[in-house]
Amino acid sequence: MEINNTFDPIDIAISGLHAQGKNIHMISSNVANAQVTDNGKGEPYRRVEAVFKSTEDDGLGGVTIDKIVTDSSEFPMILKPGHPDADANGYVAMPNIDLPIEMMNLTIATRVYQANVAVLKRYQKMIEVALELLK
C-alpha cells in the first residue's frame, strides 16, 4: 500500500477500533458463559478467541478479524455430585475459562481501543494544524 491518501490514518485507526470492539464482544461472551456446563450439545462452553490479521499484505494498513477460533484446551473437572451434568464419579466438566485471564485480555483490548482513539484524535489535530496555514 502506498502512502498517498490523507485519510488513510483515519481508516486505519477506525479498523483498530472495529477489531477491538469485536474482541471485547468475544471476551464478554467468555465471561458471561464462564459457568455454563452445557452448551446444548452436551459439552461445556468452549472459550472463543479472535485472530487478527492485517488488511494489506505488506503491513501498511488496517487490521481485521481473520477468524474466530475456539480454545481446544481441556475442560477442568470439579466435584459436584448432585449436578445434572455430573459423570458417574460426580465430576462436572466446566468451561475452559479463567476469569483473571479474561479480565486481563479485557484490559488489553480496552487499552488498544484507547490507543487507536488517541491516534485518531492526534491525527485530526495534525490536520487542523495544517489547516491553520490557510487562516
Partner 1 sequence: MSKTNNIIDFLDAGIKAESFRQKTIANNIANLETPDYRRYDVKFEELLAQAIDRSGKADLSEVKSELYQPKTTEVKGNGNDVNLESEVGQMVKNTIRHKMFIRLLSKKYRQLIEAINVK
Work out whether 3 is an interface residue with partner 1 (CB under 8 A).
Answer: no
Minimum distance, C-beta of residue 18 to partner 1, in the bound complex (Å)? 5
Region 16-35 residues binding partner 1, contact defined as CB under 8 A: 17-18, 21
- Smallest gap from Cβ 84 to partner 1, in A, equals 30
DSSP string, the chain: --S--TTHHHHHHHHHHHHHHHHHHHHHHHHHTTT-S--SSSSPPPPEEEEEEESSTTS-S-EEEEEEEE--PPPPEEE-TT-TT--TTSEEE--S--HHHHHHHHHHHHHHHHHHHHHHHHHHHHHHHHHHTT-
Selected binder of partner 1 within 42, 59, 128, 129 (CB under 8 A) = 128
* Binder among 13, 27, 50, 112 for partner 1 (CB under 8 A): 13
Least Å distance, CB 6 to partner 1, is 8
- Single residue of 11, 66, 71, 87 touching partner 1 by CB under 8 A: 11
Residues in the chain: 135
Binding site for partner 1 (CB under 8 A): 6-7, 10-11, 13-14, 17-18, 21, 120, 124, 127-128, 131, 134-135
